[in-house]
Amino acid sequence: MAKGFGSEDAAQDEIEGAVNDAVRRAQDALPHGESLTHCEDCDSVIPEGRRKALPGVRLCVECQQAHDHARTHPSAYNRRGSKDSQLR
């Protein structure tokens, strides 16, 4: 029986690689170190509850939301259809 061009585990390896990359990016984005009392961007006070909940926080909620929105990357994985639908 013909196996095609890749190994049987190639698709699973590619998926695991994409998941591992996403996990590393998420871990790198987590704050670390000592929390600031004032936002790096707008200098507004960061509430004590936020500083305790997120050790190493550097931005207020509004600036963090804007920062997160600017950092969103589209996924490289095509979720719109199967390989057969792409070939047509």
Angstrom distance (rounded) from CA 17 to CA 58? 30
Q: Global pTM?
A: 0.52
∠ CA(27), CA(29), CA(32), 5° rounding?
Answer: 85
Q: Given its phi and psi angles, is residue 3 left (phi above 0), alpha (psi -120 to 50 degrees) or beta? A: alpha
| Other CB atoms within 10 Å distance of the CB of residue 64 | 18
* Tens digits of residue pLDDT in 41-81: 999 999 999 999 888 999 999 999 998 888 776 656 655 66
